[in-house]
Amino acid sequence: MVSTSPMAVPGFRFAGLPAGIKKSGAPDVALLVADEVVPCAGVFTTNRIVAAPVTLSRDTLMRGGNTIRAVVVNSGNANACTGEQGAADARAMAAAVAEAVGCQDDAVLVCSTGVIGAPLPMEKVRAGIGEAAGALRADGLGDFARAIMTTDTRPKIRSVEVEIEGRTVRVAGASKGAGMIHPNMATMLGFVVTDAPVDPLDLDALWHRVCHRTFNAITIDGDTSTNDTALLLAGPGEPLRGEALSALAEAIEAVAGELARDIVRDAEGGTKTVALTVAGAASHADAAAAAEAVALSPLVKTALHGEDPNWGRIIAAVGRSGAAFDPEGLRLAIGDVVIYHGAWMGPGAEARAHAVMTGAEYAIRLELGKGRAERTLHTCDFGPGYVRINADYRS
């Protein structure tokens, strides 16, 4: 079972502490360091406006054959839209880490998150990196998770321990994000490590599949950002193959899935977490289009906040999605309550659906009746807190 404890993973150390980047004085520099160069896979933002650390990290992974030694993260400043100075600052962060932990510059990945367009206070960043290198601990994942937060209200940590081929394998990770969240990718950072050995090419393929079903299956407000990064680091040794690799993939997806849903659970101004599944679609594209239309509808999201089973808003969103379906065969369930099946099921169904919606987490399922494709997105409601947080974000 996936735990919320910051489990130590052999071969990895973590740190996180305040360096003065954030006005609040909260932790804002984090380090993840492997004992040796290890395989690493990365999935990054698809936004055409790309922050300097993302460019650096993508290039580093490609040049290094998907192997690295360390990851440095700063929060409070995105180092995005900062021109050549931003690129130089990202390189300087990698160089500072390399010097502090004893590796090559091109074995370090860099991540930043926070306000776009402001230059990094590099004197503070360098000092913070030096302090963090001296504070690295095997049990430091909790400190790391707190230092990567921005508008998050709590650290997001998950871990699991499984038996594979007669040995105990550990998987642990941390994520951050609470707003500007949408697939491909969202304003989030995600980091997962395992002591299981995996070939770099297998790790890359595995991680892309996992991210499609986890970090790329959450949406809060439809916006994506310039800095989004999800990294998976594995251990050294003879790589797992076949069924052993599949078992590891299940454990990694379990951890990443909870980290992704934790982001939705902590949504800016949100009070509800909803697993929205569109099934019976003619194609995966139709399933995704219908799911996104519903999950992103402000009218649907405000109804979720009001605990109002307003089925008309949901089916209207499906109707404009472009997905193929038979209106008379459309089936909508909130929890286990069918509220619409070609027609409204009556006030009794609405009362039971409302009772489901008073819970903090529940499911909505739409069946289109056109095929076998389906897509699940984890979404949330819109409450007044979302407007307040984002109206005051730079204040």
Shared domain for 282 and 240, answered yes or no, is no
Q: Could you report the per-residue pLDDT of 151-167, keeping only the tens digit for each? A: 899 999 999 999 999 99
Would you say residue 98 lies in a domain? yes
With respect to residue 4, please indicate whether it lies within any of the assigned structural domains: no
77 with 223, same domain: the answer is yes
- Within 13 Å and on the Cβ side, how many CA atoms surround 136? 19
Q: What is the per-residue pLDDT for 5?
A: 82
Q: Is 114 part of a structural domain of the chain? A: yes
Instruction: Examine residue 2 and state whether it is found in any structural domain, yes or no.
Output: no
Same domain? For 251 and 295 the reply is no
Residues 306 and 169 reside in one and the same domain: no
pLDDT at residue 228 in the model: 84
Tens of pLDDT, residues 8-26:
999 999 999 999 999 999 9
Instruction: For residues 99 and 78, state if they share a domain.
Output: yes
Domain count, the chain: 2
Boundaries of domain holding 360: 273-391
pLDDT at 380: 92
Residues 119 and 222 in one domain: yes
Would you state the pLDDT for residue 394? Answer: 58
- Give me the pLDDT at residue 188, please: 77
Q: Does residue 209 share a domain with residue 342?
A: no
Q: Is residue 108 part of a domain?
A: yes
Domain end call among 265, 299, 321: 265
271 part of the active site: no
Of 265, 292, 309, the one marking the end of a domain is 265
Average pLDDT, the chain: 93
Domain contains 35: yes
CATH of the domain at 145: 3.60.70.12
3-state secondary structure the chain: CCECCCCCCCCEEEEEECCCCCCCCCCCEEEEEEEEEEEEEEEECCCCCCCHHHHHHHHHHHHCCCEEEEEEEEEEECCCCCHHHHHHHHHHHHHHHHHHHCCCHHHEEEEEEEECCCCCCHHHHHHHHHHHHHCCECCCHHHHHHHCCCCCCCCEEEEEEEEECCEEEEEEEEEECCCCCCCCCCCCEEEEEEEEECCHHHHHHHHHHHHHHCCCCECCCCCCCCCCEEEEEEECCCCCCHHHHHHHHHHHHHHHHHHHHHHHHCCCCCCCEEEEEEEEECCHHHHHHHHHHHHHCHHHHHHHHCCCCCHHHHHHHHHCCCCCCCHHHCEEEECCEEEEECCECCHHHHHHHHHHHCCCEEEEEEECCCCCEEEEEEEECCCHHHHHHHHCCCC
Do the domain assignments include residue 68?
A: yes
Q: Do 212 and 303 fall into the same domain?
A: no
In this structure, what CATH number is given to the domain that contains residue 340?
A: 3.10.20.340
Spans of the chain below 50 pLDDT: none
- Are residues 44 and 167 located together in one domain of the fold? yes
Which residue, of 245, 265, 285, is where some domain finishes? 265
135 plus 255 within the same structural domain: yes
247 and 191 fall within a common domain: yes
- Select which of 187, 194, 229, 379 is catalytic: 187
- Is 374 within the bounds of a domain? yes
Mark whether 177 and 285 lie in a shared domain. Answer: no
Measuring CA to CA, which residue among 256, 278, 257, 297 is closest to residue 380? 297
